[in-house]
Amino acid sequence: MEGILTLHDFMLYTKSVTYIIVVGALLGLAGFFWFLNERDEDPDENPPAEH
């Protein structure tokens, strides 16, 4: 942060960090989605309340 004096440098730094976080976010969200749905793949085919 001390070495950052131009907008370009600032953006280079923050955007790089952001890209890394975005990759992490995508992986995290995918994992979370799996976690959310893995259990009831079968029962949800025929939710009891629907019929």
Partner 1 sequence: MSSQAVRADRGIITPFNVIAGIIVIMGMVLTAWRFAGGLGAVTNLDNHYPWGLWIGLDLMAGVALAAGGFVTSAAVHVFGMKKYSSAVRPAILTGFLGYALVVIALHYDVGRPWRLPYPFIMSQGTTSLLFEVAACVALYLTVLFLEFSPAAMEWLGLKRARLIVVRLMLLLTIFGVVLSTLHQSSLGALFLIAPGKLHPLWYSSYLPVFFFVSAVVAGLSMVIFESSITARYFADKMDETHKQQKTTVAFGFAKAAAFTLAGYFFAKVIGIAVDNNWHYLATGYGAWFLVELLGFVALPAFLFAIGAREQRLGLVKFTAGWSVFGIILNRLNVSLIAFNYHLPASERYFPSWQEIGTSIFLITLGLIAFKFIVTRMPILYSHPDYPDEH
2-14: burial string, b at 16+ Cβ within 10 Å, e else:
eeeeeeeeeeeee
Give one DSSP letter per residue of 15-48, joined into a string.
Answer: HHHHHHHHHHHHHHHHHHHHHHHSTTHHHHHS-G
Shortest Cβ 28–partner 1 spacing (Å)? 7
Shortest Cβ 22–partner 1 spacing (Å)? 7
Indicate which single residue of 3, 36, 42, 45 sits in contact with partner 1 (rule: CB under 8 A).
36
Contact flag: residue 13 with partner 1 (CB under 8 A)? yes
Q: Where do contacts with partner 1 occur on this chain (CB under 8 A)?
A: 1, 10, 13-15, 17-18, 21-22, 24-25, 28-29, 32-33, 35-40, 47, 49-50
